[in-house]
Amino acid sequence: MNSLEHLEKKLKIKFKNIQALKEALIHRSYLNEAKQKNLHSNERLEFLGDSILSFVISEWLFKQFPNYSEGNLTNIRSNLVKTESLAKIAKKFDLGKFLFLSRGEKEEGGENNSTLLANTFEAVLGAIFLDRGIAKVKKFIKKNFKNLLESLVLKGEFKDFKSLLQETVQAEKKLTPSYKIIKESGPDHAKIFTVGVYLGKKLLAIGSGKSKQAAEENAAEAVLNKIK
């Protein structure tokens, strides 16, 4: 476990209360093995960070691209805040090395799990907001998403996966894929949706996410990856 001070240097943010950063790194699995009392998992901070990220990215895109339609703005935001994008940034900071995980979670590769890393990154954003305020977290988000945004816009790669899949399938099969919720799990404040994407009655792939839309996007992406 690397020191929290080392992570502060990587993030280039000095916390007034280092415990805020520590809580952002505590996976719920760790609580069962921790000897310390009054520890909390990072789930509440993740909830906060998720909302802050969506707000900051939305405002940024709204001001950055005054001529873009609502659809284009939504598609760009979806690409910026998807699990893979967040996990990529989390890996840049080596967040996995700083995580507080149970032995079992570590053995299962939790330090490199994309979903876990993305959730932790959102929790860190929540911690930055609480400790240093909205201006600091805005600056941090824009700095770390700038290159990804430029890449998306320059390449024009901001169509959502559902749209790309629909175009691909209609061109080849003259059919439209459909989506169906297979399962809902987790507490109300952190519900996970599992969705299947179908062509007729055939299940093409499944995807999970914190909203139905995110799950559908992940399912569509899984199909596109298979096609590639």
Q: For the segment 122-147, what is each residue's pLDDT rounded down to a tens digit? A: 999 999 999 999 999 999 999 999 99
**Dist. CA 9–CA 118, nearest whole Å:** 20
Spot the catalytic one: 23, 43, 122, 217. 122
Per the structure, the complete domain to which residue 192 belongs is given by 161-227
Q: Is 50 a catalytic residue?
A: yes
* Number of domains present in the structure of the chain: 2
- What is the band of 2 on the pLDDT scale with cuts at 50, 70, 90? low
79/86 Cα distance (integer angstroms): 10
122 catalytically annotated? yes
Q: Kindly give the pairing relationship between strand 192-199 and strand 178-185.
A: antiparallel
Q: Write the CATH number for 198.
A: 3.30.160.20
CATH label of the domain that carries residue 142: 1.10.1520.10
Options 46, 50, 160, 216, the catalytic residue: 50
Dump pLDDT digits (tens) for 43-87. 999 999 999 999 999 999 999 988 887 777 888 898 899 888 999
